[in-house]
């Protein structure tokens, strides 16, 4: 990760510094706060408002389809797999269950680089909490996983702080 920051162009480092300084001046939490996205393949640094992050980088919510969530709940309650499936088919309909499962498996094949609805919501919650708790507010930086790398490759989330040079800045890596 430090290598990626060191390879940023001077203008990108200035932008990073500017975003950090602006974040420190904010008086309250709001949807316009920045999230930085670094595309390592193109060394492109982009700033996105937190309220537009899901549009820019849509999280994979296929696992959270109501049909699949209910199926997992039934399994956790002790039903056999076939019983849980049968109950879901009765409640939601066979077609809806098949479509939810198909969307889930297509997302698995396509890969989501670990960018799920759960990770997205965790980022928003952590950002809000860190914003409220700290005088030196950290700025989230999402480093996109390289395309063409196995599905195990995930987008990495780092929290950047104002102290020091942006190329050597303190980073806290979270693998939520």
Please give the pLDDT value at position 108.
74
Please give the pLDDT value at position 7.
67
Where helices occur in 65-113 by DSSP H, the ranges are 66-76, 81-92, 94-110
Q: Which residues of the chain have pLDDT under 70?
A: 1-7, 111, 147-152, 163-176
By CB atoms closer than 10 A (0-12, 13-18, 19+), residue 147 is exposed
Q: How far apart are CA 176 and CA 172, in angstroms?
A: 12
Please give the pLDDT value at position 175.
42
Domain extent listing, the chain = 2-58+113-174, 62-110
Please give the pLDDT value at position 4.
59
Please give the pLDDT value at position 5.
67
Let me know: does 124 contact 83? Beta carbons within 8 Å. Answer: no
Its pTM stands at 0.69
């Amino acid at each position: 990760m430090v290598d990626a920051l060191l390879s940023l162009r001077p203008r990108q480092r200035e932008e990073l510094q500017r975003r950090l300084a602006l974040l420190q001046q904010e008086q309250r939490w709001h949807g316009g706060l920045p999230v930085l996205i670094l595309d390592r393949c193109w060394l492109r640094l982009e700033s996105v408002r937190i309220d537009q992050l899901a549009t820019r980088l849509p999280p994979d919510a296929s696992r959270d389809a109501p049909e699949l969530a209910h199926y997992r709940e039934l399994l956790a309650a002790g039903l056999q797999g076939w019983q849980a499936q049968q109950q879901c088919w009765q409640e939601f309909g066979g077609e809806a269950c098949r479509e939810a499962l198909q969307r889930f498996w297509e997302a698995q094949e396509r890969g989501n680089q670990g960018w799920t609805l759960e990770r997205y919501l965790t980022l928003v919650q952590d950002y809000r909490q860190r914003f409220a708790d700290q005088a030196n507010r950290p700025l989230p930086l999402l480093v996109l996983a390289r395309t063409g790398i196995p599905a195990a490759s995930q987008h990495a989330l780092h929290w950047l702080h104002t102290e020091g040079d942006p190329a050597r800045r303190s980073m806290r890596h979270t693998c939520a």
